[in-house]
Chain A
Amino acid sequence: MFMFRSLSKIGLYAVIILMLIVPSVSAQEQYSEAPMLAEQVAQGALPPVSERLPVEPLVVEPVESVGVYGGELRFADAGVTALWSSSQVRQSGLFRYTQDGATPVLDIAKSYSFSDDLKTFSLVLREGHKWSDGSPFTVDDILFWWEDVANNPELSPNGPGAFWTFDEGPVVFEKISDVELNINFPIAYPIVLDRFGRTFFSSDTNIFLPKHYLSNWHPSYNEEAAAIATEEGFETWVQAFQSHSTPSRWYDTERPWLWAWIPQEETTDRVVFVRNPYYHAVDTEGQQLPYIDRIIVTPVNDLQTLTLMASTGELDFEAYFLGLSDMPVLRANEEAGNYQVYLANSLRTSDLALMPNQNAADPVLRELFQNLDFRRAMSLGINRERMNETLYFGLGTPYPGIPLAANSYVKPEWTTMNIEYNVDEANAILDSIGLTERDSDGFRLRSDGERLSMVIEIGVLEGRKMDACQLVAEDYVAIGIEAICTLTEGSLFTQRHNANELEVPTWHLDRAALFGRANPLFFGWEDATQQRWGPLWAQWFQSAGAQGEEPPQEIKDLEELFRRWQGTEAGSEEFTQLGQQYFEYFATQLPIIGTVGMFPQPLVVSNRLKNVATEGIFWGSDTNFYAPYLPAQWYIQE
């Protein structure tokens, strides 16, 4: 469906990126600002724009044209953590991925480099960069996160987390100056850039925090912290601190932010975000971004309402809550709603990926799921072409449970292995492993005489998983397997996963591109709460053998291989080789059974919203959704 730019060595592309950013040495008077800010400057409420911007602001080349100031972005948000989607529109991190999804580029960070041994990551911030309250943003804000939060025994009782923890020794954050920082890892650790590229991981709360503001609630800086917490109605300083450092829904009007829009006010049915007067980027003409004055978010409870709003042109931009199945409605109303629908490439290799739980509580199912032949029959028994035609307008690609073909470590021949629809062979395989007896309804009987039945559980209702599962269930009737599709959304799914009650959990296969390496989920071993096909094994690894179940040698070798691969430099020969060895397992042993993926994602963009990239674009968790679109350079023109 799409091609990645081949990934060159990190050092090389860092240089290219540096060249792309034109250092702005022009006179400070050249910067201009939005009328609403100019007014405040005239009243003396704000310092002039040249004092608010960093010495060298990020210069952004607009997608189409230099924009005009003003207007309100109409947006909607839905779901449990309402305001998540809008927080992604507002978010800025040290880095973000480019529009084609290929490389991480600088954002808050001014530059970076790796030492030759790849053990030290050097980061340079922008001099004069300020928080939304005008206080300077410096390396101290990163150190504050590292020393006083991530390594504070009360705030983080178990330390800074798996990504930052090594058997070989501790990570050392070394302050060189107010804008320079070295992060020294005990091993070669190039994937730190992969991780930072996902804006979420290199942004507020995950890598830096406003020290000057939060010190007030931290006992290392304020002896009154405990008293203040009590006064504010919290039981401990920890609660008070966290409530201010990571406000829920990213909504806190007091707290300083670095993001393009900051919380302004909340009415009963709208939430308003207003531009950050200290945002660190300008366009090529020196106009401070963002162009758009405000984001007006309508919280919506029913997704159909959101679709309806999008299709009636009441939103300026929407993608996250839409799906391919909404296309007929979206297309039919394009003109009346004064918007256009674009299709972005998806980074998912499967919408519905089956992950037979090889540690399933039911011993018979466990044995079957651990049997490669059985898993092959499960894969051959799915009619992926029909699924593609029925559910995805034929726009998807039948694909096995492996990462994207564009990754250097994915061999082309893997992409078609074991995904053909072959009922006869599937039946022959099932017969050959002794599942020959059948009941009166034609379903096979297990070794204990029970009907061979499995519960396929859908943990998230994105895409068309329920319909896809119904198709699989129908296909499985032909090979004598009863599949029951159930929707176990949200917390219950997590709960059942943790209790190891899932039989065939499912999820979409994203984080399947190179930049998913830092957070590989189903393909990795770091996070036992999201490793679905061998959860007890993952628990065993994560707890160093204290919990879960000891895996067989084969799996131990696999995990060892994974760790070695994580330590290689992206794009290197070793990286490709070890990656091939590691994913050979997924291609040939089928722990994850893929179905159909890489079908496009609709984006609704109103005709009055400009500078939205629509060519060669991606949409997905891998590139952090909105970040590559850089909403700060969007503008509104009626």
Chain B
Amino acid sequence: MDATKDSAQKSITGRGTEITAEERYYMASQSQLMWRKFRKHRLALISTVFLIAIYFLAFTYEFWAPYEMQTQHEDYLTAPPMVIRFVDSEGNLRAPFVYGTSNELNMDTFTREYVEDTSQIYPIQFFVRGQEYSFWGLFKSDLHFFGVENSKIFLLGTDGLGRDLLSRVLAGSRISLTIGLVGVFLAFTLGCVLGGISGYFGGATDTVIQRVVEFLISLPTTPLWLALSAAVPPRWSPIQVYFAISIILSIFGWAGLARVVRGKLLELREYDYVISARLAGGTDGYIIFSHLLPGFMSYLIVHLTMAIPGMILAETALSFLGLGIRAPAVSWGTLMQDAQNVRSIAIHPWLLAPGIIVIFVVLFFNFIGDGLRDAADPYKL
């Protein structure tokens, strides 16, 4: 579908026989052009690298997490994050290590006070044997990326039950990053197809689709979620619940996109090149997909990359309303829900870490979307 615009441009510019640098630019394929452009957007490029890394961590989290996400370390309740050190108390440079800690419950303040014991030095070891886990149910292993011997290491601290927050954040990433992609995809497809039909054909088709869209759009989502949360069968597994809801969300979510597509099409269909295509006998499908869609591809891409983080945020909102993933499954939403209290903000701020990670992931997606937007319009300098 990109070829049309490409060749149209070529017919205007690519007349010479000698291939100059400029011509190479115009003769490059669409994807080459996009890549060239995308690379210029530094933030987008860096974000892509990070996001790929995060997805990789999510898919193999069992190896990276020092502990099993549910393990309760009873001697380390609400432990603050440990500091990785390179210099010991005597000023010697060492391989990375952490100090041992001891804690005492202060019955006056009702908090656990942790102190580092600078005489206990535990070097961080890599590729250590630890708790056994089942990797995707395929094989069992006890190899972990890092750990310490004879002590524990909690780089993001622990929660009220003494569970390692880093391990839980890593475990939660699998659900949070993958779930909702289905919903976005579905919403995107529905939105483009129905919005396209509506905007292009107009008339009765437009009226019918617009009524449906209008109807769906005018339902405020929060009350809908609330009502649905009570209606979901309690016997469903946490994952079933979320998928069901993300699909429902996408069914309602396509409407917004359809409206945008239609608005754009209303404008585009008056354009000369569309009219020419129609006069030349192009079928409707051909015109929509070959002439119109590429015309606002950039717009769709922006929308899509914003829809994925939207789903991640939706998941946290669902958890806030008491409707997300249910324990024992863990997602960033449930972790944030655990931290959504005055206690965490005032006394245990490290429990807010999942929120910060969500912010970063959402940022990455948006920067990529931004980069793609610019890249999808490759002839603009």
Contact = CB atoms under 8 A, between A and B. Distances in A.
A and B are interacting partners: yes
B343 A326 contact: yes
Contacts of B224: none
Contact of A390 (B77, B340, B341): B77
Contact of A488 (B77, B110, B234): B234
Q: Is the interface of A mostly helix, strand, loop or mixed?
A: helix
A333 B346 CA distance: 10
A329 B342 contact: yes
Nearest to A501: B234
A307 B342 contact: yes
Given A332-B346, A485-B327, A327 B322 contact: no
Contacts of A308: 342
A487 B162 CA distance: 21
Contact of B109 (A331, A389, A466): A331
Contact of B161 (A326, A390, A486): A390
Nearest to B326: A486
Contacts of A485: 327-328
B327 A325 contact: no
Interface string A314-340: 000000000001111101110000000
A580 to B, nearest CB: 37
A393 B346 contact: no
A165 interface: no
A598 interface: no
Contacts of B110: 327-328, 331, 393
Interface stretch (A115-123, A402-410, A467-475): A467-475
Interface string B67-91: 0001010100100000000000000
Contact of A473 (B74, B105, B328, B347): B328
B123 interface: no
Contact of B342 (A311, A466, A470, A474): A311
B328 A484 contact: yes
Given A329-B347, A466-B327, A474-B72, A492 B161 contact: no
Interface in B111-131: 111
Contacts, number: 67
B234 A304 contact: no
Given A328-B110, A328-B111, A304 B105 contact: no
B74 A325 contact: no
A496 interface: yes
Contacts of B70: 474
B107 A325 contact: no
Nearest to A474: B72
B270 interface: no
Interface string B285-298: 00000000000000
Contacts of B77: 390
A326 B162 CA distance: 18
A386 interface: yes
A591 to B, nearest CB: 24
Interface in B277-326: 322, 326
B272 interface: no
B347 A470 contact: no
A487 B321 CA distance: 13
A331 B108 contact: yes
A304 B340 contact: yes
B230 interface: yes
B103 to A, nearest CB: 12
Contacts of B160: 325, 390-391, 467
Contact of A329 (B161, B234, B327, B343): B343
Interface in A279-319: 304, 307-308, 311
B240 to A, nearest CB: 13
A328 B234 contact: no
Contacts of A170: none
Contacts of A470: 161, 327-328
Interface string B97-110: 00000000101111
A390 B347 contact: no
Interface residues of B, number: 25
Nearest to A383: B74
Contact of A328 (B74, B109, B161, B328): B109
Contact of B322 (A328, A333, A474, A487): A487
A394 interface: yes
Contact of A486 (B108, B111, B234, B342): B234
A325 B343 contact: yes
B107, B161, B328, B342: residue with the most chain A Cβ atoms closer than 10 Å: B342
B234 A496 contact: yes
Nearest to B343: A329
A325 B341 CA distance: 11
Given A470-B327, A496-B234, A394 B72 contact: no
Interface in A383-397: 386, 389-391, 393-394
B194 to A, nearest CB: 36
A329 B346 contact: yes
Contacts of A474: 70, 72
Contacts of B234: 486, 488, 492, 496
B209 to A, nearest CB: 37
A394 B107 CA distance: 10
B105 A328 contact: no
Contacts of A331: 108-110
A382 B161 CA distance: 15
A505 B54 CA distance: 40
B91 to A, nearest CB: 35
A633 to B, nearest CB: 30
Contacts of B326: 486-487
Contacts of A496: 234
A326 B110 CA distance: 9
A308 B340 CA distance: 12
A389 B105 CA distance: 10
A489 B326 CA distance: 13
Nearest to A386: B74
A471 B109 contact: no
Contacts of A325: 160, 343
Interface in A483-499: 484-489, 492, 496
Contacts of A391: 160
A467 B343 contact: no
Contacts of A332: 109, 346-347
Contact of B347 (A328, A386, A394, A488): A328
Nearest to B74: A386
B74 A390 contact: yes
Interface string B221-252: 00000000010001000000000000000000
Nearest to A333: B346
Interface string A543-579: 0000000000000000000000000000000000000
Contacts of B108: 331
Nearest to A394: B105
Contacts of A486: 234, 326
A471 B72 contact: yes
A332 B111 CA distance: 10
B341 A304 contact: yes
A453 B234 CA distance: 15
A492 B346 CA distance: 33
A329, A386, A489, A496: residue with the most chain B Cβ atoms closer than 10 Å: A329
A37 B137 CA distance: 76
Contacts of B109: 328, 331-332
Given A328-B110, A328-B111, A329-B347, 12 more contacts: A311-B346, A325-B343, A328-B109, A329-B343, A333-B346, A386-B74, A467-B160, A470-B161, A471-B161, A473-B328, A486-B234, A488-B234
26 contacts: A304-B340, A304-B342, A307-B342, A311-B342, A325-B160, A328-B109, A328-B110, A328-B346, A328-B347, A329-B347, A331-B109, A331-B110, A332-B346, A333-B346, A386-B74, A390-B77, A390-B160, A393-B107, A393-B110, A467-B160, A467-B161, A470-B328, A471-B161, A484-B328, A485-B327, A496-B234
Interface of B: 70, 72, 74, 77, 105, 107-111, 160-162, 230, 234, 322, 326-328, 340-343, 346-347
Q: Which 3 A-B pairs have the closest CB atoms?
A: A327-B110, A328-B110, A328-B111
